[in-house]
Chain A
Amino acid sequence: MMELQAILMAAGGGSRMMDLTYNTPKPLLPVGNKPLIWYPLNLLERVGFEEVIVITTRDVQKMISTDPRMKLDVKMKLDVVCIQEEADMGTADALRHIQQKIKTDVLVVSCDLITDVALHEVVDLFRAHNATLSMLMSKAHEFTETVPGQKGKKKNGEQRDFVGVDGTGKRLLYMANEADLDQGLVIRKSIMKKHPRMHIKTGLVDAHLYCLKKSVVDFLADNKSISSIRGELVPYLVRKQFSKSTNSPKIKDEADQNLKGKDVSVNPEIQIWFRDEKLLQLSQERSCWNDHRGDMGEAYHGGRLRCYVHIMEEGMCYRVNTLAAYIEANRLAPKLFEEHAIHPSAVISERYLIGADSIIGASCQIADKTSIKRSTIGMSAVVREKVKVTNSIIMHGVTIEEGCNIQGSVICSGAVISRGADIKYCLVGSGQRIDPEAVRTNEVIVGTDQLMEI
């Protein structure tokens, strides 16, 4: 039996990069000529998962099964579960939706995660501490590339997340968003007594990768008010670590009784943790090990609900949920896999200049005297003579006519760039046609219907 069941959340719409996801759902956006969803799948496959539950929408399922360009190159068995897009389900809702399928602890991954993390780091925390939750975070990266349509440097006006970890940097003690901290950062003294050294970190991104105990999923099933894992469940669990009811032995006994009596009507809160195995409990009681200094108290101060976080100090970890992140991911993704940069089926003329850091997709046609640097060219794209492409993402089926100069731009699928156009730092929506000799700088070029929606 598998230790962990992997669940891939791929139903998100990509609301923060509408210009890109207008035609292509977020899970299928090409990154390094592979659909975005391939990256988390590959991550799971690399560590040996054989089966993944993929939660997604019907659209995505259809495109995966029909569109050859979206073919997922994975050997794992994919158990695709579709949810209705209109239902506006959060990640926790989705988890609740598939509760029947869940037999063990789960590993939940978001489809927009591109990382080279050693996944065992997260899982080991989960195992070693018999944790209720362990998750992955990473130091936030500065996006260096210019983002189309964005005037100047984006100001750091976003509300920061405050994440508190203990002295070892593993135990997750505190989590709050700046927006909720009008009263200042408030921490109970009892927490500080148990974990006297708390690191408060602000420059972190949550990778949306969680190991959760099965009991948490059961808890979700009973507690329908929680709809998002990151927004509600995780903060709830983090807080709950130190709440009295979770730790007092009296309730523990009650819970034990309930377990015997199979009483379902108990307060759902306490079900999260009481399913510790008897032997495990016994071993903990008998062990002289404890996790703190200063006194000889019980390990974990008797706390039964524990949250841990692995924070990546180095390496790559991106969540592709904004245009900036998408561009950055495309720039870095080729480093993740060792494949031929130029697909064998691409038709490329003799005299060309293609940088080593570029990727040319299958059945592309690249004409003479082109120069392609630090760019990705999607499948079946056509690039004519004397075209210069630098620092750009060209999606599937794009046609670029003679003498164009494309720099720092994203050209969505099916777009046509007419002869001699000069495009710098633009986003060209799918199916758009750019007039010959047009000069565009720092614009978002999308169809009118698309604009209406925004």
Chain B
Amino acid sequence: IWIFHGFYAEEKLVASLASMSTSERSKAIQKMPETMKKKREIRNKVLKEITKKSRHRCTQLSCCTECLQGTVVRFRRFGNSLSEHFHQLWIWHRALKIISAEFGTSVLSYFIFLKWLITLNIISFLINFSFLAVPQFVAAEPNNLSFKGLELITGAGYFQQTVLYYGFYTNATISKIENGPSYHMQLAYIFTVGIYFVICFLILLFSMAKSFCRNFINPQTYSGNASKLLCTWDFNITNEKAVKLKQKNLSIQIKEDLAEVSREVLSYSVRERVIRIGIHLVSWVASLGTAVAACAGVYFLSINNLQLFVKEHKNDLETQAAMLVLPIVASLLNTSIPFFYSWLGHLERFQIPRQQIYVTIIRNIILKISIVGILCYYWLKIVAASESQCWETLVGQDVYRLVLVDFIFCLLGSFFGEFLQRIIRTTVCVSRGLPEFDIGRNVLDLIYAQTLTWIGILFSPLLPAIQMISFSIIFYVKTVSLMMNCQPPRKVWRTAQMTTYFILLLFFPSFVGVLTVIGVTVWSLNPSEECGPFRGLPSMYAAVAEWIKMLEKYTASKWVVWIYHNLITSELFFFILSALVLIITYLYWQIKEGRKTMTKFLRKQIIN
């Protein structure tokens, strides 16, 4: 009887597969956990079933249907081979595979994050180039300055009069043909930047939500042991040394768990506890103090920097070199202070090693946020109010220089941090082995560079192109450095959770901060009088207000005006929107709680 049951189940399966579309059917067959032979049999049965059905339907047009089927099959084969060629365009696919084989997925997550950032920058470059730079090329004024090689580093000189900076863009309406279609540069500029940030926001939101959904572990249910044993083996690794290392790690971890030597159980005396808290307090004060000192240094240096621009307009070598002091000092602080923080972390002797990683990362984040914050304050409050001719171009040049010097320092850091360390450790002190690839520090460097790019987009629309090139070079350099100099990481690094945290870090301090800066610039700062697409207006946003006023005269676009007045500028709308979002979030939370209780109840029933 059970053989008959099996047959019946198979008939049902074949019938359901025959009724699906072609791609769904392939996916369903691929996912079946059967041997190849069985799958092929089922597939043949399904195909026979389909031809039977189609023959049933149109018996008269049988030769036509066969022709059609033949064409469909040939078309599918063509599509398949096209997508194969497309697969070859997956650049770095091979390099990523080798990295994951030798070093495991934790190091791979850094490179995937880098690749994702490069894609984001490519999208930004395409948007800005097509909507801003190309029309500007059409209406370009001739460039009178001469090109000396130094411009590539300082960004000043010849580049000042190119599409690279805000100051070059015209505020006129561009039209090549008389009475032909016209391109309003002011509106284009503000709408392109606005829509670009909305797109970035949506991309980040979706990536974060997807990441949370897949990867975030509810700390209550991750009780550890079973998953640790059966689920954390990294099957990607094919390097023998890495495999042995991983096995050793796992055995040490299991032994520790069993013997329960976790330091929570060890109780310290009151005096020891006070000393430990004292040490923690002192190191926090030291790290925050260094961050404040770094900010003060950057601030005073930048005020001096401004004097250079406002007072003298000489273009000689001295002023050019002096312009580079601020970016070099800022990048130097950014690169060297994290080493100081790691040294502090070692000194503190944390109970759980993971705490040390988190505390060091938090300190680095505070340092980077304060430096970026101070620079933004300087740019928005001081440069904007100064008497320079074109303050936006000045800010754009500053950001350009910062991005470039940061890139150079990243390459140097890779050289000194990994290459020299390897030479020292293999020749002088052989005990500690090769250096490890520091994922946390490298990811924070990437997020810092991306934050600078986002801030600079308003003032220098082609900055993403530069960042794209620099990230690609960093990818190659880091890959080579990794292969030559590093060993697989010793500490257990919960990859999936860390990837979620990276994207969260990118979104929350970095992107939201940038939105605030851009918001302040667009709404409240005065654009300069003599350059740029918003010259003469009281604020950049006034361009949109003027456009709406102009639209009011045409009856065909009354709805745009209505949307603007009642939805975008009214506070009531945003209040209602926020209330709706809060209500929906609360409802989902309650549904989740209800499901949790239901699961607990059902589980009890299974056990009993």
- Tell whether A and B belong to one assembly: no
Interface of B with A (CB < 8 Å)? none
